[in-house]
Structure 1
Amino acid sequence: MKSIRMLLMVILTANLLGGCAAVIVGGAAVGASAVHERRSVGTMIDDEGIEWKVRSALNGDKNLSSQSHISVISVNEVVLLVGQTPTEAFRQQAGVLAKGVDKVRIVHNELTVAAPSTYMTRTSDSYITSKVKTSLFKVKGHDDFDPTRVKVVTENGTVYLMGILYRSEAEDAAKQASRVGGVQKVVKLFEYLD
């Protein structure tokens, strides 16, 4: 009951603050997941802000945003762009816009020049992501491995793995992800502790 009251207080406060609602709710989500993270809480909050700012920058380019499907993910100030744009020029522009956002250290521009993916493809990608996340609980042999530290993103059957891991953890996580049905390819975008 206390947590419901707390949630209602957060929502009420967020509504009163108007434009700050996304930051407050994002901050609450960050706080809940911080227990398992190797990123600092400050970096987790920065990542939420980076994602929002990159999306805003992309949406500010009306030609790009109206003709493209782009997902933005930030982990430890490393940005991943996935999706589709109709031209190479749009793909490059998206990368430039992402790099221009404050605190972004690296941009992995994995956009493809193609028509936007279909609803069915996106649904399949979501299903693959959930299967990969679940399968990571099978990774064994590491004292400190926590599968919730691995960010999993799927785009058109390609699985992108992000996070801060030891190399052996990353290798085993990638092997496990590659065994999941529907996965076409696994791309490791980890930062390593060793």
Structure 2
Amino acid sequence: MFTLLSHTSVLAKARVARMAGLLMLISALQGCAVATVIAVTAGATMVADRRSFSKQIDDQRIEFNAHNELNKQKALAKNTNLHVISINGTVLVVGQAPNSYLRDLAIKTIQDVPNIVTIHNQIRISSTTAITTQSNDIWLTSKVKSALLASSEVNAKDVKVVTENSEVFLLGLVTREEANIVVEITRNINGVSRVIKAFEYI
């Protein structure tokens, strides 16, 4: 079994390396140094991810298609502030809607997007957040990620951190023990008002 897993890992790394190499070649032909750096970083991240390569692509497609469907609804595009995050088909929808009708419409709009396994509806009924609040959310996310990186008990790369109006949402493929550690670290970060788990357990 060890040989099989090692061989599979080598093949996965080789596949990602080829993709990163192709992206670097394209960027070089276009004279874009920034794209080259992004290609290398993306390749390394894909290798470290607990999701399969195909699942990572599926998640990107889910997010793109979901946002596209939401934007087709003029009432949603004009009156709400919504974000869709997908990890291994587990979809988290966060943000604000002015009423329950638009909140429910948002979920109904994306529920038929292919490859979605489950949807966590965390849309709040309220006005959209101000720029200052959004900036604070970015700062809180960085604080949580930094705290996870400093921990020797979990791998921060396995956890997706999303902050919306000081509420921190946690996603990823983790063990229950890892989940408990991550929650404990997060809830002790100054400024975090609430921690919501949307993990998939392995």
Q: 2:80·2:96 contact (CA, 8 Å) conserved in 1? A: yes
Q: Are the equivalent residues in 2 in contact too, given 1:139–1:172 (CA < 8 A)?
A: no
Asked whether the 8 Å contact 1:72–1:79 carries over to 2, the reply is yes
Task: Output the TM-score relative to the length of structure 1.
Answer: 0.83
Is 1:188 paired with 2:188? no
TM-superposed CA distance for 1:139, in Å, is 2.9
Deviation at 1:132, TM superposition (A): 0.2
1:58 maps onto 2:70 in alignment: yes
Q: Distance in 2 between matches of 1:27 and 1:93?
A: 37
Structure 1 stretches lacking a partner, 5+ long: 14-25
**Partner in structure 1 of residue 165 of structure 2:** 156
For 1:27 and 1:110, locate their aligned partners in 2 and report how far apart those are by CA, in whole Å.
32
Structure 2 distance, partners of 1:57, 1:157, is: 27
Written as runs of structure 1 = structure 2, the 5 A alignment for 1:20-169 is 30-141=42-153, 145-169=154-178
- Specify whether residues 57 and 36 from structure 1 end up closer, same or farther in structure 2 by C-alpha distance, changes over 3 A only: same
Structure ID, larger Rg: 2
Q: How far, CA to CA, are the matches of 1:71 and 1:112 in structure 2? A: 12
Assess if the C-alpha contact under 8 Å between 1:153 and 1:161 holds in 2. yes
How large is the RMSD of aligned CA atoms in angstroms? 2.3
Corresponding residue SS for 1:191 = strand
Q: 1:110 & 1:5 partners in 2: Cα distance?
A: 38
Instruction: Answer yes or no: is the 8 Å Cα contact 1:68–1:85 preserved in 2.
Output: yes
Query: Is contact 1:36-1:146 (8 Å) kept?
Result: no
How far apart, in 2, do the equivalents of 1:59 and 1:123 lie?
23
Q: Please give the alpha-carbon distance, in whole angstroms, between the structure 2 residues aligned to 1:98 and 1:64.
A: 12
In structure 1, distance between residues paired with 2:108 and 2:83: 15
